[in-house]
Structure 1
């Protein structure tokens, strides 16, 4: 199974040089800086630049609110224009979700992209989920194309399904969430902040400690029922779909945690303990579970903490809960 959002960043290891030097030592170091490492082909200056780049790109997960988030095709001018016209953007996106998906949403973040803005939203009430839409913007005409809002194929549908599953099987999700709350109290790990969850997450039913993905390429019975009967109560959903069956591999549940301390590397023992706990945990949602332990740093622009030193339960190791 292909897990979404697992971006493995290649970060080079480097030494930060510093301290007071006498003149002879300074001259010696300046000469060393000019020499090229014959094995890597890099200079010490390049290593220092890489180190600085890493400091600029990452920040502590506890301090990250998602304000720095950028789309892969980030456009600063469109970002500014969209923010200046936030009320127009919000109204258009809310109308889109209401008309296309029978869902009321809250707009949490508007981020400039190529030819438009990405708008991250959260559903109001249940089913509860996060997702996003794109609103086209013609900057040359200073025009927001309010009637042309769109979303990636299947993205909103899949998000709705994860929200429906969390609503129907609430008790099972509560078992998982209670365990994770106990885990972050027991181990020196944490999740993302609530602000970051709202501004960056677009992955269906999610919390600060895990996110879910639905991998069904075609519309599900759940989704079709929701669109046809958007006003069904939670009790009605539970009554009609409490025995809803699906393949465990269709629901991805990714537990995504960070070390508490800034200079802590991901802890293998904590990782193994959590994996073992999940394997033995009863009464949790049916699905394919992944576990990730990152260090304390998160990428400011992508909102992703996974990097080369992260410890990850890979695709072929996923924990399948029936």
Structure 2
């Protein structure tokens, strides 16, 4: 396996499997930990030992939002919209969405000093925001190709008995770069010589045009391993099992279809439920084609 960034894989694993640390006493009854994916907007999501800090975050919402917006402007020259504050063991995790020509979701962390919100100490996990930016850049650079993928998945959802996640859940608890209800992208600046010049241009001029980012992109250095697309669909009916027929169709189409982005694809068909506490959708009965058997389009 080629070298990949820990941050990108950690984010993808969290999204795919919903693996998060749990408190000793979950916030929700074990019998009601799952919800219809069509209804889930992030309620019930929590982070390790975050219950008390949830309350502090709520009481200091305005101050936290101001500090986080300042952080993204100073560090990444990016304006963001704050969607959600979730208490963690040391403070709060703040889920945001970029505002501007480049679109991505991400998060930052603000520590607390007891019940006091620390100022000027906002930080992000290493590579997390950077990979969000490169996700957005790939979406912009391969605009026509991603439009083709979007059209295909829109048609699948319209014609078949599957749905995607809600947009609200992406904003409130997603935080994983470029995301749509039907898929998310995994990328990084590390070891990706193709996207790095475009990323550096973004930091110099976030308002650059799509054409300028395309010109900066080094297509000769592109490696399909550096752009990873995870397609995540859910059965529409509450008691329906993942459809093997649909799974075969989607994987076959992704293998053969012309005009979609070059890259490495994973495909997941899940039942109707999403785990409230973790945002996870993949379960024992899910159908998946993923590492080490992904679909490579190069």
TM-score class, shorter: 0.7 to 0.9
Q: Point out where structure 1 has 5 or more consecutive residues left out of the alignment.
A: 10-51
User: Which residue of 64, 71, 90 corresponds with 1:89?
Assistant: 64
CA drift of 1:218 comes to 5.0
Post-superposition Cα deviations, 1:242-271, rounded to whole Å, max 9, x if no partner, equal: 846421011110000100011111111111
Structure 1 residues 302 and 135, CA, compared in 2 at 3 Å: closer, same or farther? same
Post-superposition Cα deviations, 1:118-149, rounded to whole Å, max 9, x if no partner, equal: 0111000221100111000122xx21112010
Q: Which moved more, 1:221-230 or 1:85-94?
A: 221-230
What is the TM-score with the length of structure 1 in the denominator?
0.81
Q: Which position in structure 1 is the counterpart of 2:131? A: 158
Q: Which position in structure 2 is the counterpart of 1:296? A: 272
CA RMSD of aligned residues (A): 1.9
Q: Residue 122 of structure 1: SS of its match in structure 2?
A: strand
Q: Which position in structure 1 is the counterpart of 2:16? A: 6
User: Which residue of 251, 263, 270 corresponds with 1:287?
Assistant: 263
Q: Residue 184 of structure 2: SS of its match in structure 1?
A: strand
Matched, 1:268 2:241: no
Counterpart mapping for 1:47-196 below 5 A: 55-71=31-47, 73-139=48-114, 142-196=115-169
Q: Residue 128 of structure 1: SS of its match in structure 2?
A: coil
Cα separation, 1, equivalents of 2:287 and 2:207? 42
Q: Residue 147 of structure 1: SS of its match in structure 2?
A: coil
What is the TM-score with the length of structure 2 in the denominator?
0.88
Q: Which position in structure 2 is the counterpart of 1:200? A: 173
CA drift of 1:280 comes to 1.1
Cα separation, 2, equivalents of 1:8 and 1:155? 17
Post-superposition Cα deviations, 1:45-82, rounded to whole Å, max 9, x if no partner, equal: xxxxxxx96531111111111122212x1411111111
Contact kept in structure 1, 2:106 and 2:176, CA below 8 Å: yes
Cα separation, 1, equivalents of 2:170 and 2:206? 25
Contact kept in structure 1, 2:134 and 2:189, CA below 8 Å: no
Cα separation, 2, equivalents of 1:8 and 1:135? 22
Structure 1 residues 242 and 250, CA, compared in 2 at 3 Å: closer, same or farther? closer
Q: Residue 232 of structure 1: SS of its match in structure 2?
A: coil
Q: Point out where structure 2 has 5 or more consecutive residues left out of the alignment.
A: 2-8, 20-27
Q: Which position in structure 1 is the counterpart of 2:205? A: 229
* Structure whose CA Rg is larger: 1
Q: Residue 84 of structure 2: SS of its match in structure 1?
A: strand
Cα separation, 1, equivalents of 2:159 and 2:107? 34
Q: Residue 17 of structure 2: SS of its match in structure 1?
A: coil
Structure 1 residues 244 and 79, CA, compared in 2 at 3 Å: closer, same or farther? farther
Post-superposition Cα deviations, 1:198-238, rounded to whole Å, max 9, x if no partner, equal: 11111111101100111453572222221122231233223
Structure 1 residues 244 and 301, CA, compared in 2 at 3 Å: closer, same or farther? farther
Cα separation, 1, equivalents of 2:205 and 2:182? 31
